[in-house]
Amino acid sequence: MDIETLLKNTSRSLYLSVRALPRSMRPAFGIAYLLCRYADTIADTPVLPSSRRLYWIERFPHLLLEQDPAEAARLAQEISGGTENPYEAELVKNLMPCLELLNNISSEQRENITDVVSAVCEGMKTDLSFFPNESAPEPKAFDTPAELERYCRLMGGKPGLFWSRLIYGTADIHMPEEEFYELGQHIGDALQIVNILRDLPKDLRIGRCYFPRTDLEKAGLTAAELLDSANSARFEPVKRKWIAWGLANLKSGKKYFPQLPKSQPGQRAAVAWPILWTADTFFKVYREPDILNPSKRVKISRSVIYSTMLVTPLLLASNTLFCNWLDKKLRKFK
C-alpha cells in the first residue's frame, strides 16, 4: 500500500503539512491520520445502523492492539460500499497493511498513535450514543459548554497532544514538556471548534447540535430552530462566543511556534500553516451572516492556502514575523 497516495487523496491542506515534515516524523503522523480517518469512515457509514457503528468504534482501538485479521476482514466487509469516495473505499480495504506499517514504528510512537486513535474514537462514541440517528426529525444539543469543550479536546486537543509528542521526541524543545503539550492541545481545540462552526448546517441535518442548550436558551433559541437559516442573526451571539473561545486557544500558537528549532524549517511550516489557515477560517465564519444556511460552504480558498505558502520562508526565518502575522489576522475580529 502506498501511504503517501492514500494521504494525498484523503486529505487536502493536511497533506501539504505532512510533506513539509522531517522524514523521521512522516510515517507516524501518516499512519495516525489514516487510522483516525478509518474510524471516521466507520462512524459515518450509511450502510450500518448506528448501534453497529458504535460497536465497531468501541472495538477499533482494541483491534489496533490485537490485530486479528479475521476481525479486520469482517469490519471491512461490513462497511464496504458505504462511501462514494474511491480513495476512502481503498482505505477501507487496507486496514491490515496500515497495521503492518504501525508495527514497523517504534514502541513509543505506536503508543502515541493508539492513544490518539482511542481519544478520537471516544469522541465518535459521543456522536453515535448522545445524538439521535441521522433520520431524527430534529437535532439534539449538548447541555453545557463543558460538554462541547470536552468534545473539542477529544477530537482536536488530543490530536494536538499527539502532534506535540512527536515534535518533542524529534526536536530540541526548551520549554517544559507538559507546558508544550498543553499549548499543543489548546491549538488542537481551536482547530476543532472552527470545524464545528463551519460544518454547523450539515451537522444539524444529521441530528447533531454541538452548541450547548444553555447558550441557545440565552439567545432565545432551540436546536430545532437552527434548522431555519432565517435564525442566523439570532444565533450570532452563540457563534461569536465560540469564535472567541477558539481564538483564545489559537493564540497559544504564539508561544508554541517559537519553540520549534529554526534548523527544522519543514517542521515549523507544518505547524505554522494549520494555525494561520485556522485563523483565516475563523474570519470567514465571523464574516458569514448566514451561517445556518446549508448552501453557504465556509472554507478558505486555494489562493489563501498558496499565498500563505508563498510567504512561508519569511515566517520560518523569524519568530517575531510569525507572531506579528498571526496577530494581524487576530486583530481583524472586532
Please state the pTM of the whole predicted model: 0.92
**Predicted local distance difference test score (pLDDT) of residue 85:** 74
Q: Which three cell numbers stand for residue 97?
A: 497493511
Average predicted confidence (pLDDT) for the chain: 91
Greatest extent of the chain over all pairs of C-alpha atoms, in Å: 56
- What letter does residue 133 receive in the DSSP assignment? P
In 28-184, DSSP assigns E strands to 140-141
141-152 pLDDT per residue, tens: 999 999 999 999
Lowest mean pLDDT among 9-13, 123-127, 250-254: 9-13
Q: Does domain 130-334 have CATH number 2.60.40.10?
A: no
Q: For the chain, what are the domain ranges?
A: 1-121, 130-334
d(CA 322, CA 258): 9
**Predicted local distance difference test score (pLDDT) of residue 21:** 74
**Sequence-distant (≥ 6) Cβ neighbours of residue 291 within 8 angstroms:** 197, 200, 201, 232, 235, 236, 239, 285, 298
128-181 pLDDT per residue, tens: 999 998 888 899 999 999 999 999 999 999 999 999 999 998 888 999 999 999
